[in-house]
Amino acid sequence: MPTRYIIQKLLRALLTIWIIVTFVFIVLRLSGDSALMIFGPDVDAEAIKTLREDWGLNKPIWQQYLFYIEKVFHGDLGKSYLDGRAAFDVVMERIPKTLSLMGVTAIVTFLIGIPAGIYSALHHNTKTDRMTMTMSVMGLSIPNFFLGVLLILLFSVAWQILPSAGSETGWHYVMPVITMATAEASVFARFTRSAMLEVLNKPYIRTALAKGVPWKNVVREHALPNAAIPTVTIAGFFVGSLIVGGVVTENVFAWPGVGRLLVNAVANRDLAVVQVAVLLIAFSMVATNLLVDFAYGWLDPRVRDLRGEST
Amino acid sequence: MIDMANIPSTPPNPADQPRNDKRFRRRHFFERYPLFVMMAALMLFTLILVAVLAPLLAPYDYTAIDLRARLQAPVWMEGGSWNHLLGSDNLGRDVLSRLIYSIRLSLLVAFIGTIIGAVLGTALGFLAAHFRGWVDDIVMVAVDFQASLPFFIIALTLLAFFGNSMMLFIVLMGIYGWERYARITRGLTLSAITHGYAVSMRTLGATPGRVYLRHVLPNISSTLIVNMTLNFPATIIMETSLSFLGIGIQPPMTSLGNMLGFGRDYLTTAWWITVFPGITIFLATLSMSILGDWVRDRLDPTLK
């Protein structure tokens, strides 16, 4: 990968982070007295005064801004007024639960979505293909909160075989994972299918067939690796939709993760926590997109072999 | 294994086939308008009709409380009565009436949101393409920013910091998706203004506004319309999700999402409060997607 490509992508990631932090800073200032916002209205005047000095709120706006950026990079972002602890710690301790739910969902999504898409493409315009695509449209159209509620109605209320809330055992994963993976697998099936179809139409496939390579090998050695490249590009989108899906799903199933914390904090206007959660989500999105760019540069020889030329 | 399906099938040329009997015409009609698409269009038409005629159709006021008829089952179940066709909720409010008014509000918000997004995005796309330079840079950085964070999270943040109000909520639904219109408009305009028709209009002395609105816009409108059909169901899901979580539309107003959200507490005793609005959202987004796919295939074969 050319250094120039790497530097370009890194600069872009830094720029995005800077914009996001600035955006949060502006919103925080526009929304009113940030001392009150962070501490909540019940705190005595002395504490607010200390905080104002602590956060440099009595300084000119550009100094406040620099001060804010410094605080962000130290992870020092105020206290949750709901439980009085540092907002950063409050969010951090919820991360493992969210990550484990996202991880299991991602595995299930890959296991269902990608094979379904490949199969559909290889059986283009057959009944199975059309059925898979119909199911994918339906999977995309059903809102995940409704799917979650339906699952609870069936498995917890009517048949009473699965727990409807909590995260203690493996059984607790079943319904949240189905809820999240349905839409994700639908997207993957569609995307993999169209990537495969596009590759199968390429001249090099015809060439391989013409020189007598068996169909199985053509698919395995020529079609699949080439179709995998565009699939990498939706990884960024995938992480974003896992985060959003997670926020909704965690709330449906009372899953003690970041998403539930975030919605709770929004409803109670616990702004320090909202701020930390949002910055965390933003940073992980930027990091994912950066990784996607690098993976793409590494996978695609057209980018990989550019030596110092401009991209 | 390479099947013939990859070769584009040309539609039968009417000149070659002088058949004009009824059966042929019927088949031809269904090839042009598949059954699924017809059903989707009918579904959407019904929903829009319900939204428009809500005050005439709803048997009760959607806020009318009747504590003696709480959690009544739909009419076909045990304990149901003709007074409340789809049952009643925890305060004895008629589920059917609430459903009708929820359809009205959810569709209205999605319509307004889609239109604001389309106008805003298209205008910014034109500005970026016209001025280039720093205007272009600013618009594109904003586009990248919006694409780098899921909008759901941006909406949550703004609702948390500024507090919930109907005005802010509608503005948010409008901002949702603007970046796609901007990107499409900018790209297509940049290529369109080098085309003969745009160049000649400018030579004839037309103002930039006239060139963009009267000549470029009609030429790029099919792609924009396709994007609207994608954006509309996404806006419905965005609105209902936020309302479901209790941070979107607030009571006493009722939307499909907040109906579902409140009904969730009564899942064990009164499933009908949640299931009917849920099915409605599903049908609305499904039919819009089917219709959108069909429109896309007809209008814009490049966008597969």
Can you tell me which residue has the tokens 């992480």?
A239
CA distances from A20 to A115, A132, A163, B271 (A): 37, 39, 39, 42
Q: Touching check for B144 and chain A: CB below 8 Å? A: yes
Q: CA A197 to CA B5: how far, in whole Å?
A: 11
Q: CA A296 to CA A291: how far, in whole Å?
A: 8
- At A82 the three-state DSSP class reads coil
- Where on the phi/psi map is residue A212: left (φ > 0), alpha (ψ -120 to 50), or beta? left
What does the block give as tokens for A266?
């929004």
* CB pairs A-B closer than 8 Å: 138
- Residues from chain A contacting residue B304 (CB–CB below 8 Å): 194
List the single residue in A with minimal CA-CA distance to B282: A142
Are B2 and A209 in contact (CB < 8 Å)?
Answer: yes
CA distances from A136 to A30, A236, B158, B232, B255 (A): 42, 20, 32, 18, 26
Question: What's this model's pTM, rounded to 2 decimal places?
Answer: 0.84
Are A20 and B148 in contact (CB < 8 Å)?
Answer: yes
Q: Give the distance from residue A4's alpha carbon to the nearest chain B alpha carbon, in angstroms.
A: 20
Q: Which of B1, B145, B159 sits opposite A266 (nearest CB)?
A: B159
H/E stretch holding A274 reads: helix A271-299
Q: Touching check for B290 and chain A: CB below 8 Å? A: yes
List the single residue in A with minimal CA-CA distance to B288: A141
Task: Name A79's bridge partners.
Answer: A86
pLDDT digits (tens, 9 = 90+) for A63-114: 888 888 888 888 777 778 777 788 888 888 899 999 999 999 999 999 999 9
Tell me which fold the domain A95-256 belongs to. Answer: MetI-like fold (1.10.3720)
Mean pLDDT by 10 residues, chain B (304 residues): 43 50 66 81 92 84 78 76 79 86 92 93 91 87 83 89 86 90 89 79 80 84 85 90 88 87 85 90 91 80 51
List the single residue in B with minimal CA-CA distance to A199: B6
Q: Could you say which residues from 47 to 76 on chain A have a Cβ atom under 8 Å away from some Cβ of chain B?
A: none
Q: CA B84 to CA B73: how far, in whole Å?
A: 8
- Where on the phi/psi map is residue B66: left (φ > 0), alpha (ψ -120 to 50), or beta? beta
Q: Where are the domains of chain A?
A: 1-93+270-311, 95-256
Alpha helices in chain B (DSSP H): 22-32, 35-52, 54-57, 95-131, 133-148, 151-162, 166-175, 178-192, 196-203, 208-210, 217-244, 256-263, 272-299
Q: Which pLDDT belongs to residue B46?
A: 93
Are B278 and A140 in contact (CB < 8 Å)?
Answer: no
Q: CA B257 to CA B50: how far, in whole Å?
A: 17
Q: Which pLDDT belongs to residue A99?
A: 93
Q: CA B99 to CA B163: how far, in whole Å?
A: 26
Q: How far is CA A274 from the centre of its chain?
A: 17
Q: Could you say which residues from 155 to 214 on chain B have a Cβ atom under 8 Å away from some Cβ of chain A?
A: 156-163
Q: Touching check for A143 and chain B: CB below 8 Å? A: yes
Task: Name B94's bridge partners.
Answer: B88
Task: Report DSSP state, residue A156.
Answer: I
Q: Could you say which residues from 167 to 186 on chain A have a Cβ atom under 8 Å away from some Cβ of chain B?
A: none
Q: Which pLDDT belongs to residue B12?
A: 46
- Residues from chain A contacting residue B271 (CB–CB below 8 Å): 153, 157
DSSP codes, A228-266: HHHHHHTHHHHHHHHHHHHHHHHHHTT--SHHHHHHHHH
Q: Touching check for B232 and chain A: CB below 8 Å? A: no
Q: Give the distance from residue A309's alpha carbon to the nearest chain B alpha carbon, in angstroms.
A: 23
List the single residue in A with minimal CA-CA distance to B292: A137
Q: Touching check for A209 and chain B: CB below 8 Å? A: yes
Q: Which pLDDT belongs to residue A35?
A: 58
**Rounded (5°) CA angle B188-B190-B191:** 65
Tell me the residue type at B267. L
Q: CA B201 to CA A167: how far, in whole Å?
A: 65
Residues 6 or more apart in contact with residue A146 via CB below 8 angstroms: B260, B274, B278, B281, B282
What does the block give as tokens for B277?
């609005």
Q: Which pLDDT belongs to residue A37?
A: 57
Per residue of chain A (311 residues), give pLDDT as tens.
678 888 888 888 888 888 888 888 888 777 766 555 555 556 667 767 776 666 666 677 788 888 888 888 887 777 787 777 888 888 888 999 999 999 999 999 999 999 999 999 999 888 889 899 889 989 988 999 999 999 999 988 888 888 888 878 888 888 999 999 999 999 999 899 988 998 888 888 889 889 988 888 888 888 888 888 887 778 878 898 999 999 999 999 989 999 999 999 888 888 888 888 988 998 888 898 888 888 887 877 776 665 544 43
Q: Touching check for B271 and chain A: CB below 8 Å? A: yes
Q: Could you say which residues from 212 to 231 on chain A have a Cβ atom under 8 Å away from some Cβ of chain B?
A: 215
Q: Which of A141, A252, A266 sits opposite B286 (nearest CB)?
A: A141
| Backbone phi and psi for residue B65, each to the nearest 5 degrees, phi listed first | -100, 135
The closest alpha carbon to B45, from B298, B303, B291, belongs to B291
Can you tell me which residue has the tokens 């034109």?
B126
Dihedral sign computed on CA atoms, order B267, B272, B273, B274: positive
List the single residue in B with minimal CA-CA distance to A126: B5
What does R_g of chain B's alpha carbons equal in angstroms?
24
Best residue in B35, B39, B148 to probe A by mutation, most A CBs within 10 Å?
A: B148
Please check whether residue A20 is in contact with residue A279, taking contact to mean a CB–CB distance below 8 angstroms.
yes
| Backbone phi and psi for residue B58, each to the nearest 5 degrees, phi listed first | -70, 125
Are A15 and B159 in contact (CB < 8 Å)?
Answer: no
Are B153 and A243 in contact (CB < 8 Å)?
Answer: yes
Residues 6 or more apart in contact with residue B100 via CB below 8 angstroms: B50, B54, B57, B58, B62
Q: Which of B145, B160, B281 sits opposite A266 (nearest CB)?
A: B160
Burial of B79 (C-beta count, 10 Å sphere; 0-12/13-18/19+):
exposed
Q: Give the distance from residue A286's alpha carbon to the nearest chain B alpha carbon, in angstroms.
A: 7
Q: Which pLDDT belongs to residue B93?
A: 85
Are A146 and B281 in contact (CB < 8 Å)?
Answer: yes
Q: CA B100 to CA A188: how far, in whole Å?
A: 35
What does the block give as tokens for B60?
């009760």
Best residue in A19, A21, A24, A146 to probe B by mutation, most B CBs within 10 Å?
A: A146
Best residue in B44, B146, B156, B243 to probe A by mutation, most A CBs within 10 Å?
A: B156
Q: How far is CA A233 from the centre of its chain?
A: 13
Residues 6 or more apart in contact with residue B195 via CB below 8 angstroms: none
Q: CA A237 to CA A72: how far, in whole Å?
A: 25
Q: For residues A96-124, b (16+ Cβ closer than 10 Å) or e, as one string?
A: ebbeebbebbbebbbebbbebbbbbbbbb
Q: Which pLDDT belongs to residue A43?
A: 63
- 3-class secondary structure per residue, B44-70: HHHHHHHHHCHHHHCCCCCCCCCHHHC
Q: Which pLDDT belongs to residue A54?
A: 65
Q: Which pLDDT belongs to residue A42?
A: 61
Longest dimension (CA), chain B: 76
Q: Which pLDDT belongs to residue B26?
A: 67
Can you tell me which residue has the tokens 């009944």?
A127
Q: Which pLDDT belongs to residue A258?
A: 92
Are A153 and B148 in contact (CB < 8 Å)?
Answer: no
- Residues from chain B contacting residue A194 (CB–CB below 8 Å): 304
List the single residue in A with minimal CA-CA distance to B236: A143
- Residues from chain B contacting residue A146 (CB–CB below 8 Å): 260, 274, 278, 281-282
Q: How far is CA B4 from the centre of its chain?
A: 36
Q: Give the distance from residue B207's alpha carbon to the nearest chain A alpha carbon, in angstroms.
A: 35
- Residues from chain B contacting residue A199 (CB–CB below 8 Å): none
Q: CA A139 to CA A145: how far, in whole Å?
A: 12
Tell me the residue type at A237. F
Task: Report DSSP state, residue A32.
Answer: S
The closest alpha carbon to B224, from B281, B150, B296, B165, belongs to B296
Please check whether residue B245 is in contact with residue B261, taking contact to mean a CB–CB distance below 8 angstroms.
yes
Q: Give the distance from residue B303's alpha carbon to the nearest chain A alpha carbon, in angstroms.
A: 12
Please check whether residue A120 is in contact with residue A128, taking contact to mean a CB–CB distance below 8 angstroms.
yes
